[in-house]
Structures are given as structure tokens and as C-alpha cells.
Chain A
Amino acid sequence: MGILEIKDATLKFGGVTALDHVSYGVQEGEIFSLIGPNGAGKTSMLNCISGLYKPSSGSIYFKGEDITRYKPHKRASRGIARAFQNIELFPQLSVLDNLMLGRHVRMKTGLLAGGIYWGKTQREEIEHRKKVEQVIDFLEIEDIRNTPVGTLSYGLQKRVETGRALALEPEILLLDEPMAGMNSEEKEDMARYIIDIHEEMNTTIILIEHDMGVVMDLSDHIAVLDFGKLIGYGTPEEIQNNSKVIEAYLGEENAV
């Protein structure tokens, strides 16, 4: 059984079926990619995993626990972290504060202890600051740690958002098009970070990406969505030779 199991998930918005009886499993420690044409339901799938959407039917298991009805914050505390397709950072806060917010579920200080800020609170703050500094080192964003993220370039914001999710020390990391809108150099860096996260921290990663080169290089398994339906699942070679997948992609290209 995988770390994450999607069982027969269906999600409807009025007349639109964003997910149509989708089932698959993600193995612990792998890089798993979700691909599909625009509007296929990839982001909707991540929203169901992180709890922003509740599937109309079907269920989601994380490490054997049924999390279908859990609210997002409870899923985060179980170790599910997420970076968004459209950046969702806290724009007025510094990179450091954004990353410290990533540590929220790992910290304990309550209201009173925070207001008094003695001994234990200060020690906790320092201890977690060290963890955040590790993430900052890892992503090579030392020079912008005190900059408000709203003023950073798009590529850097994407990197900071990945960092914030990473700061949670997730068991599973959901990345929604982390390389979109980047130049090829930034893309290469990001691909390297993803490989490093995977290898050094042993984090399971679910990746949504349109660049097929990247997807084929990085993934252990790939699932293909089209109009909300799962039309293919397998290793990169299997997907490349899957006639339905080829058809869906060719169909899209013909339409364009």
C-alpha cells in the first residue's frame, strides 16, 4: 500500500466534472508526476489532497488513515505540504517569516508563552530558525532572507514558496508547476532542487509539470489526466508508449 491512496475520487463543479472516478496510489519516497492538458483536473487533484476541495465521492488515504473529511490544517499537521500554481506567499512578510510560517505545525508556543517570550519560547524560536536557515542554505536564497517576498522576481517567489513547503519537513510535498514561467537556467536549478529534496530528505513528491523532458527525467511514476479521467498510469517509458496518452496530447496539439 502506498503512502497516499486515491480511491475513486470524483469532484464536480456544477456541470463540470473536474475529477471523474480517479484512483491511483503514490509510493513512499518516489517522485510522482501528474500530467495532462490544461483544465484536465491536475490542480483540482492537489486541492483534494491538501483539503481545499472535498471530493463529491470517493476517498483519500494518507499512510493508511482516511483523511477525506479532514480540514487542510489537519492534513498539514500530518505532513502534507504544498506549493501553489499561482503563488500564495504572504507578500508583505519577509522570506524568513514566510518560512517560519512553514514551521507552524512543528512549533508549540501558545498565545501566553508567545506574549511573555521567555526561556522556552525564545529557545523554540531559535531552534526553528536554525531549521529555516538550513532550507535557506539549501535553496541558496541567503541574500534575500530579509526581503519582503512581494518585491521578489517571479522565479524567486516560486523558489521561496517551495522553501516554505519544505520548511514544514513534509512527508509528502505537492508541487504545482514549480517551473512555470521560469527561464531555462532557473528551470534547471529547480529541477536540481527537486532531485536534491528527494535524495537528501527522502521526501515523497507529487509534481505537476508541463515540460515533458523534466517529467520523464525526474519521475518514478506518472499519472495522466484528461477531462478529469485517469487515462494512463505507469513508468515514464510506459507512458511514452501509451496510445491513449499520445492521442490526448496530439488531440490537444491539433486543437491548438
Chain B
Amino acid sequence: MRNPFVMDCGEFHVNYKQDLAIWKITRVRMRVFILLAVFAVFPMFASDYIIGLATLCGIAAIGAIGLNILTGFTGQISIGVGAFLGVGGYTSAILTAKLGLSFWIAMPTAGIVTAIVGGLFGLPSLRLKGLYLAIATLAAQVIILFVISRWDALTGGTAGMVLSRPELGSFVFYSERSYYYLMFVVLVITAIFTLNLFRSRVGRAFIAVRDRDVAAEVMGIDLFKYKVLAFIVSSFFVGIAGALLGHYTMVVSPELYSITVSIEYLAIILVGGLGSVFGSIYGAVFITLLPVVLRSGVELMSGVFPDLSAVLIGMKEVVFGLVIILFLIYEPQGLAKIWKNIKDYFKLWPFSY
């Protein structure tokens, strides 16, 4: 029997299946299951307000995993995420509100439509790299928003559209709790799919394209195909996030998908960790909660200094920018890396080397 008080000095895998597992170490696997259990159970005890925030964090995490597939794993910066969220939201809105389709058909369709749109706007990646490609995605952002706000007949123009909550038989996902679970299931599927992707052939090819495109090409990876494929998969998840968000807030309108949203998502993956699935989740929680925490901080202090809130209310953007810059300077690999450093520290504790 294993002595529960002794940590293993290492784990030895005796077959390839074990060595290829996502979580190779039993301890890590246990922790992931505990974490999953905590997030599955916590809404039983939390207030609607907290559950609502958690739902927003989770939806942002789904979109951020999508963006990370493109930017963190494949090395293609996109400034068009905001608009792609919009494509997802509007597709689901049109399918459910105008065509009367069920949410369960509309949400995956929104993913597929966004994937196609993303793939089309990814075509310039044949010729463009880095900053130039980023500018091309900026064009996508502008064009898509233009279409959404002008095509009144289909999208309701600047007024936007109203959506309803999903139904399953006679059950409507109306409570905060039920919608949280809906998001939770989609997030878990997204995370597992992405983790699997990056331990198999296509995901490895994405990473190869990011790290050394010449070598990737010579090893038999069709650069163009995989670059566009990254746009397609990435946009699929962003579209799903857009649909989930639309049905949660029950409204879609052009100003919800501005370039600010695109930058917020870039901030999420930067702060969380480029090329990390868990980093996308940490970053989404961090960036979603940051303004909330700031606001309550300001409210608390305004009791003492009544004039303070007027000054600090405009500080949100400043703090936001500051956080991003600090991460870029001190920990470019993001929260995922910080978390890993802490773990490594305790693995060797009490020896510091």
C-alpha cells in the first residue's frame, strides 16, 4: 500500500498509453477531478449574482480558448474576435427568433457559420504574417460590424435583436443556475477537445507552424491549409461563445461586439497564457472580474471619501492597460506560468534548488 504521507519522487510510465495521457500524474488527475467537482457543486451554495458572474467568466473562457487556438497555439494574431462573437450571436438570434429553430440546432450552427466566416477572413494568411495579418483581421472586424449594423432587414440594424433562453422539453434555462450548468458543459467539452487536439497530429502541426514555418513545411505540413484550419476551429468556438452569450444576455446589438471586445479577449489570453488551455480560463476569470472588483473597491472607498468615485470611475481602462503591460513585462507567459512556478516551488519545497 502507498504511504499517503510521502510524495512520489517521480512517476514512471510503463506503457505508451499512460505516457500519452493528458494528465500523466495521478495527483494531477485527482486535482482536476476535484476542481471539476467544486465547479459543478458551487452554484448550489452561491448567490445568483455570483453565479451570473461565473457564467460570464465561463463564456469568455470558451471564446478565449478559441482565440488561443489561433493566436497562442498557431501564432496568428486576430483583432477580429469581437466581430466573430457577433457572428455567433446574430446567427443564433436569426435562427431562433426569425426562423423559429431550436437553440440546440442554432448554437452549433452559429459555431459552423462563424467557422466559415472565420475561414474566409483567414484566407489572407496565405500571404500575410504577424502584424500584417492582424491588420487583415481588423478589416474583418470593421466589415462584419458594418454589415451587422446596416443589414436592417436581417439583423435589426443598430437596434439589435432580442433572444430567448433555451428550452429543453418544458424546461426553460431561465434561472442563473441552470444557465451556468449549460455553460459549464460547453466549457468542459471545449477544454477537453482542445487539450486532445494539441496532443495529436493536427494540433502539433499548428504549433509547428507557429514555431518554425519553414521546418514545418519541409516536414510535410501544408502551411496554408493549417493556417486557415486554425482560423476555422478558432472561430467555431468563438461563435459558440457568441451564441451562448447572446442567449444569456438575451440581446444582440452591434455595440456589444466592438473592437474593445476584441482587445479584451487578446488581454485574456495574454494575461492567462498564450498557448495554454487552462491559461485561457484563468485569464477569462481575471479579466471578467477585474472591473467588478475595481468597482466594488471604489464603492467601498467612496463611503470614506465621497468625491473619490468620480475620480476613480474613469480609472478602469487605466488599470486594465496597466495590468496588461505589467504582464507583458514581468510574466509574458501569463497566469498559467505563474501557477506552474508556484507548483514547481512546492514540489521541491523545502529545498529551493
Q: Interface residues, chain A, CB within 8 Å of chain B?
A: 50-52, 71-74, 76-77, 81-82, 84, 88-93, 97, 100-102, 104-105, 107-111, 113-117, 121-122, 124-126, 129-130, 164, 168
Contacts and interface: CB of A to CB of B under 8 A. Distances in A.
Interface string B134-146: 0000000000000
B48 interface: no
5 contacts: A71-B222, A93-B208, A102-B219, A125-B16, A164-B219
Nearest to A164: B219
Interface string B175-212: 00000000000000000011011011111110110011
A134 to B, nearest CB: 13
Contacts of A52: 214, 217-218
A168 B16 contact: no
A84 B216 CA distance: 12
A51 B211 CA distance: 20
A100 B202 contact: no
Contacts of B220: 73, 76-77, 104-105, 168
Contacts of B127: none
A41 to B, nearest CB: 19
Contacts of A84: 215
B223 interface: yes
Nearest to A125: B20
Contacts of A102: 219
Contact of B221 (A51, A73, A92, A121): A73
Given A90-B215, A101-B219, A111 B233 contact: yes
Nearest to A117: B196
Contacts of A114: 196-197, 200-203
Contacts of B208: 90, 93, 101, 104
A116 B223 CA distance: 23
Contacts of A117: 196, 199-200
A90 B218 contact: no
Interface of B: 16-17, 19-20, 193-194, 196-197, 199-205, 207-208, 211-212, 214-223, 229, 233
| Majority-rule SS of A interface residues | helix
Most B Cβ at <10 Å: residue of A100, A110, A114: A114
A104 B218 contact: no
A164 B221 CA distance: 14
B138 to A, nearest CB: 27
8 tightest Cβ-Cβ pairs between the two chains A and B? A76-B220, A114-B200, A105-B220, A117-B196, A88-B215, A115-B193, A90-B211, A72-B217
Contacts of A100: 204
A148 to B, nearest CB: 11
A175 to B, nearest CB: 13
A110 B202 contact: yes
Given A73-B221, A89-B212, A90-B212, 4 more contacts: A101-B221, A115-B200, A122-B17, A129-B16
A92 B211 contact: yes
A111 B202 contact: yes
A89 B197 contact: no
Contacts of B19: 129
Contacts of B197: 111, 114-115
Contacts of A72: 217-218
- Indicate the member of B203, B220, B221 with the most A CB atoms within 10 Å: B220
A73 B222 contact: yes
B205 A104 contact: yes
A102 B19 CA distance: 19
Contacts of A116: 193, 196
A104 B221 contact: yes
A110 B225 CA distance: 12
A74 B219 CA distance: 10
Nearest to A77: B220
Contacts of B199: 117, 125
B343 to A, nearest CB: 18
B215 to A, nearest CB: 4
B219 A109 contact: no
Contact of B218 (A82, A91, A107, A129): A82
Contact of A168 (B202, B217, B219): B219
A76 B219 contact: yes
Contact of B194 (A107, A115, A164): A115
A74, A93, A115, A129, most chain B CB atoms within 10 A: A115
Contacts of B203: 114
Contact of A90 (B202, B207, B233): B207
A239 B332 CA distance: 55
Contacts of B196: 114-117
Nearest to B19: A129
A53 B81 CA distance: 36
